Amino acid sequence: MMKKLFIPPVLVFISLIMIVLFYFLLPAYNWIAFPYNLFGILFIFTGFIISGKTRDLFDKYNTTLGFGKSSYLITEDIFSKTRNPMYIGMFLFLFGLSICFMNIFSILTSIVFILFVRIFFIPVEEKLLFEEYGCEYETYKQKVNRWI
């Protein structure tokens, strides 16, 4: 049961909490000065746009956002540029928020998030997609980079 609860949105939530905690608990590391910290809003906005476009595509093809069986291999739109747009959107959101909170450890939190996703979530997803789509997925992997 615990394994099913630990999914990427939960990791985003945990990262959000850590970003805020670092800001308040380690104020000596709040190094990004105002108004430069507001540059993070651009990353947050970009992350929301990418995640929203990705979610719309999942809805359009009625396929899962989770680790369940996929009903369609999406290769169009943003998926023609990156195989993991949802994770990129989540990372950009966290990275932007960490810049807004000005704390260097908050920024490291967003980097740890993307590394964790790369190590623990993406291999599972890629395995499931290969099992479901075989050569079609392999061809897609060769054409489109994992990130950008």
CATH number at residue 137: 1.20.120.1630
Query: What pLDDT shows up at residue 17?
Result: 97
41 domain residue, yes or no:
yes
Residue with tokens 């989770």: 66
Tokens of 87: 């994770």
Rounded to an integer, what distance in angstroms lies between the CA atom of residue 136 and that of residue 83? 14
CB within 8 A of 57, min separation 6: which ones?
74, 76, 77, 78, 79
- Identify the pLDDT of residue 71: 82
Residue 4: is its pLDDT beyond 70?
A: no
pLDDT tens track for 76-99: 999 999 999 999 999 999 999 999
Please check the confidence at residue 1 and state whether its pLDDT lies above 50: no
- How many other CB atoms are there within 10 angstroms of residue 42's CB atom? 12
CA 119/CA 84 separation, integer angstroms: 13
Quote the domain boundaries for residue 57.
7-143
- Beta carbons within 10 angstroms of residue 87's beta carbon: 24
Which residues make beta-bridge pairs with 103? 30
Whether residue 107 has pLDDT greater than 90: yes
pLDDT at 131: 92
- Which pLDDT score, from 0 to 100, does residue 148 have? 83
Within-domain flag for 1: no
Instruction: With beta carbons less than 8 A apart as the criterion, state whether 50 and 88 touch.
Output: yes
Judge whether 2 lies within some domain: no
